[in-house]
């Protein structure tokens, strides 16, 4: 698809022709642009939700702590020995012994109701425990399970609890949401491609006189096709920017009213908006949708 | 060379002729005789069903799409229905041929002005084609066809929609182009035009050349 002549002249022609095309059929162009924007807003909303929920997993995962509750009545020497054995386990970064008294203090500090509950019981029901941090390269689910299993096997350990169980359930929810998001984006993306392709096909039809004349005076395929491709790209670019602006506006408008719910969902962590790179990716996705839709339409060819 | 659109029916059949560089030739004959088909073959809008056609040294029967475009940049074509873009000014219509050839903006404007001056319409360059008369629109189409200084000018019934006075005006422009050395092939069934210019005339009937009458007038 060689193009004759100076590239600047050609680019000026393509830009002028594409803008003239958009002005000539504003309604189909607006519908295509808005469809791209709606698709990207939905995809962006899912990305926002999944990104924040993924942050919870990353945070809890990075903590990777395992608590081993000890059988009551162990001597100080037995406890020291247990701590030593736990430290020697592969993948263990640090071990901290938590006495029943310290466990009670911690529980008391969690709130008035907890303190009242302890006071009502009279004696301290909490056992001693050891809290084990895992080395960064042992933080996979399998490696953590292996450390937990080794801890369970140590004499004097009554029960092993790990945040990982909860994290894995949460991660499954996030994975499900991500899959739904990708599926939804795929379906909406395909529908958007079809719509953009239809608007470009309509433009090809309404401007067939111009196409005939261009072909008549010696325009090659690329010279004729590129303005239409550029129309799709412009629709995608505007749609992408609109989507980013809409997401930001919705985020700013509704965050105060849903902040409480979000905090609960995110384990107390503050919700964050998408990063500039992710917003850029949304705009690029719009450009790709617009360009690809136009290319699909052009691939069908036109009358020469 | 032959051309068939429907099996068993020939739009053109066993046509054989040579048009020399710089020649001014009329194609004539009744409607449906094959004049338009022959012209369309000459600018590669059609391919022959049988035989060979060589235009400006290029074999039409096996010309790749990319080379069709480059061939057309060396040919100017004028139609009965003008084929002008209604939403663009007269100057923009002429400059389309220069945009395609990648001519820089300043040069393009100057050349479009010169081409419009040649057809006497430089003062109308900012008007839209639909605000012009039929004769003026055809002169714009001729300016567009000539702006790239083509080696070959093809015209298909260029005055079919015009009255006799405008017809002569248009043909004088075409004859002037031929006089400058451009090869010109014009399809017309207007006997007054044939009589006035007396150039070589190929008469077609039912897709065949039945007469090849040499010109009597001055060459070019």
Domain boundaries in chain A? 7-59+169-299, 64-162
**Distance of alpha carbon A304 from alpha carbon B45, whole angstroms:** 8
Asked if A135 and A93 touch (Cβ cutoff 8 Å), the reply is yes
What is the average per-residue pLDDT within A245-272?
80
The two structure tokens encoding residue A63? 């903590």
* C-alpha to C-alpha distances, A105 to A97, A115, B178, nearest whole angstrom: 14, 9, 107
Q: Compare CB distances from A9 to B71, B96, B105 and report the shortest one's residue.
A: B105
Q: Model confidence over A63-110: pLDDT tens digits?
A: 667 888 888 877 888 888 888 998 998 888 888 888 888 888 887 776
Query: Quick one: pLDDT at residue B220?
Result: 40
**Distance of alpha carbon B157 from alpha carbon B81, whole angstroms:** 9
Q: Angle formed by the axes of helices A164-206 and A26-63, to 10°?
A: 170
A136-165 per-residue burial string, b: 16 or more CB within 10 A, e: under 16: eebbeeebbebbbebbeebebbeebebbbe
A178-185: long-range contacts (C-beta < 8 A, 24 or more apart)?
A178/A46, A178/A50, A180/A46, A181/A43, A181/A46, A181/A47, A181/A49, A181/A50, A184/A42, A184/A43, A184/A46, A185/A39, A185/A42, A185/A43, A185/A46
List, in sequence order, every beta strand (DSSP E) within chain A: 65-70, 92-98, 129-134, 157-162
What is the average per-residue pLDDT within A179-205?
87
Eight-class DSSP state of A73: T
**How is domain A64-162 classified at the CATH fold level?**
Alpha-Beta Plaits (3.30.70)
Partners of B148 on chain A (C-beta within 8 Å) are 217
Question: How many alpha carbons fall within 13 Å on the CB side of residue A76?
Answer: 0
Residue bearing tokens 């607006």: A30
- Report the run of H or E that residue A30 belongs to, with start and end: helix A26-63
Asked whether the beta carbons of residue A6 and residue B66 sit closer than 8 angstroms, the reply is no
Asked whether the beta carbons of residue A304 and residue B144 sit closer than 8 angstroms, the reply is no
Q: Model confidence over A213-243: pLDDT tens digits?
A: 999 999 988 888 999 999 999 999 999 999 9
Residue bearing tokens 């066809």: B145
**Distance of alpha carbon B26 from alpha carbon B28, whole angstroms:** 6
Distance from CA of A10 to the nearest CA of B (A): 6
What is the average per-residue pLDDT within A119-135?
83
Partners of A212 on chain B (C-beta within 8 Å) are 83
Residue of B nearest to A210 (CA): B85
**Distance of alpha carbon A32 from alpha carbon A197, whole angstroms:** 9
Q: In what order do the strands lie in the sheet with A65-70?
A: A92-98, A129-134, A65-70, A157-162
Q: How many CB atoms lie within 10 A of CB B150?
A: 23
Query: Quick one: pLDDT at residue B217?
Result: 60
Confidence of residue A164 (pLDDT cuts 50, 70, 90): low
- The residues in B 151-210 lying below 8 A from A, measured between CB atoms, are none
pTM: 0.68
Q: Which of B147, B102, B111 is nearest to A9 (CA)?
A: B102
Beta bridge partners of B77: B154
Residue of B nearest to A215 (CA): B69
Asked if A195 and A293 touch (Cβ cutoff 8 Å), the reply is yes
Q: Angle formed by the axes of helices B65-72 and A208-216, to 10°?
A: 80
* Backbone dihedral angles phi then psi of residue B56, each to the nearest 5 degrees: 50, 40
Asked if B172 and B140 touch (Cβ cutoff 8 Å), the reply is no
Answer yes or no: is pLDDT of A281 > 90: yes
Q: Model confidence over A103-118: pLDDT tens digits?
A: 888 877 766 777 787 7
Asked whether the beta carbons of residue A218 and residue B70 sit closer than 8 angstroms, the reply is yes
Q: Compare CB distances from B73 to A4, A20, A304 and report the shortest one's residue.
A: A4
* Backbone dihedral angles phi then psi of residue B184, each to the nearest 5 degrees: -130, 130
Q: Which of B182, B115, B109, B171 is nearest to B143 (CA)?
A: B115
Q: How many CB atoms lie within 10 A of CB B161?
A: 16
What is the average per-residue pLDDT within A140-149?
80
Tens-digit pLDDT profile for chain B (220 aa)? 999 999 889 999 999 999 999 999 999 999 999 999 999 999 999 999 999 999 999 999 999 988 999 999 999 999 989 999 888 899 999 999 998 888 888 899 999 999 999 889 999 999 999 999 998 999 999 999 999 999 999 999 998 878 888 888 889 999 999 999 999 999 998 999 999 999 999 999 999 999 999 988 654 4
Asked whether the beta carbons of residue B96 and residue A3 sit closer than 8 angstroms, the reply is no
Asked whether the beta carbons of residue A3 and residue B102 sit closer than 8 angstroms, the reply is yes
Answer yes or no: is pLDDT of A169 > 70: yes
Q: What's the 3-state SS for A171-225? A: HHHHHHHHHHHHHHHHHHHHHHHHHHHHHHHHHHHHCHHHHHHHHHCCCCHHHHH
Asked whether the beta carbons of residue A4 and residue B102 sit closer than 8 angstroms, the reply is yes
Q: Compare CB distances from A10 to B65, B77, B102 and report the shortest one's residue.
A: B102
Q: Compare CB distances from A5 to B45, B84, B103 and report the shortest one's residue.
A: B103
Distance from CA of A11 to the nearest CA of B (A): 10
**Distance of alpha carbon B3 from alpha carbon B24, whole angstroms:** 24
In chain A, the percentage of residues whose pLDDT exceeds 90 is 20
3 state DSSP class of A62: helix
Asked if B193 and B25 touch (Cβ cutoff 8 Å), the reply is no
Asked if B23 and B182 touch (Cβ cutoff 8 Å), the reply is no
- B107 at A interface, C-beta within 8 A: no
Confidence of residue A6 (pLDDT cuts 50, 70, 90): low
Asked whether the beta carbons of residue B85 and residue A215 sit closer than 8 angstroms, the reply is no
- B83 at A interface, C-beta within 8 A: yes
Asked whether the beta carbons of residue B73 and residue A215 sit closer than 8 angstroms, the reply is no
């Amino acid at each position: 698809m060689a193009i004759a002549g100076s590239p600047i002249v050609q680019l000026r022609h393509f830009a002028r022709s594409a803008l003239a095309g958009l002005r000539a059929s504003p309604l189909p162009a607006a519908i295509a642009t808005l469809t791209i924007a709606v698709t990207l807003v939905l995809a962006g909303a899912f990305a926002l939700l999944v990104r924040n929920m993924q942050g919870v997993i990353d945070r809890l995962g990075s903590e990777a702590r395992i608590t081993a509750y000890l059988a009551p009545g162990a001597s100080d020497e037995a406890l020291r020995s247990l701590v030593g054995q736990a430290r020697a386990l592969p993948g263990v970064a640090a071990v901290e012994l938590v006495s029943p008294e310290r466990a009670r203090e911690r529980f008391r500090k969690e709130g008035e109701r907890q303190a009242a509950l302890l006071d009502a019981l009279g004696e301290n029901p909490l056992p001693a425990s050891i809290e084990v941090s895992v080395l960064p390269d042992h933080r996979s689910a399998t490696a953590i399970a292996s450390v937990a299993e080794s801890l369970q096997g140590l004499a004097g350990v009554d029960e092993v609890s790990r945040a990982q169980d909860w994290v894995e359930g949460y991660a499954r929810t996030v994975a499900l949401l991500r899959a739904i998001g990708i599926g939804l984006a795929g379906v909406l993306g395909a529908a958007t491609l079809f719509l953009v392709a239809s608007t470009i096909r309509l433009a090809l039809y309404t401007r067939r006189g111009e196409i005939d004349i261009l072909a008549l005076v010696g325009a090659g395929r690329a010279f004729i096709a590129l303005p239409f491709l550029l129309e799709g790209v412009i629709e995608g670019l505007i749609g992408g920017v609109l989507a980013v602006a809409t997401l930001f506006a919705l985020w700013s408008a509704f965050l105060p009213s849903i902040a409480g719910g979000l905090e609960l969902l995110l384990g107390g962590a503050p919700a964050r908006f998408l990063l500039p790179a992710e917003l850029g990716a949304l705009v690029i996705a719009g450009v790709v949708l617009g360009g690809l839709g136009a290319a699909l339409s052009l691939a069908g060819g036109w009358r020469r | 060379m032959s051309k068939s659109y429907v099996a068993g029916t020939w739009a053109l059949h066993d046509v054989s002729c040579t048009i020399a560089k710089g020649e001014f030739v009329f194609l004539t004959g009744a409607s449906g005789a094959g004049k338009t088909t022959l012209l369309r073959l000459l600018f590669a809008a059609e391919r022959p069903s049988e035989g060979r056609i060589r235009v400006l040294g290029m074999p039409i029967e096996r010309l790749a799409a990319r080379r069709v475009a480059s061939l057309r940049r060396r040919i100017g074509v004028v139609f009965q229905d003008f084929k002008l873009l209604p939403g663009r000014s007269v100057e923009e219509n002429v400059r389309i041929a220069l945009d395609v050839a990648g001519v820089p903006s300043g040069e393009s404007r100057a050349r479009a002005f010169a081409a419009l001056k040649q057809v006497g319409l430089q003062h109308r360059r900012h008007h839209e084609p639909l605000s012009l008369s039929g004769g003026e629109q055809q002169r714009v189409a001729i300016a567009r066809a000539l702006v790239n200084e083509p080696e070959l000018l093809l015209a298909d019934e260029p005055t079919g929609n015009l009255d006799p006075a405008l017809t002569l005006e248009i043909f004088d422009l075409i004859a002037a182009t031929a006089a400058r050395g451009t090869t010109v092939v014009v399809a017309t069934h207007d006997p007054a035009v044939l009589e006035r210019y007396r150039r070589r005339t190929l008469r077609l009937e039912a897709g065949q050349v039945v007469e090849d009458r040499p010109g009597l007038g001055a060459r070019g």
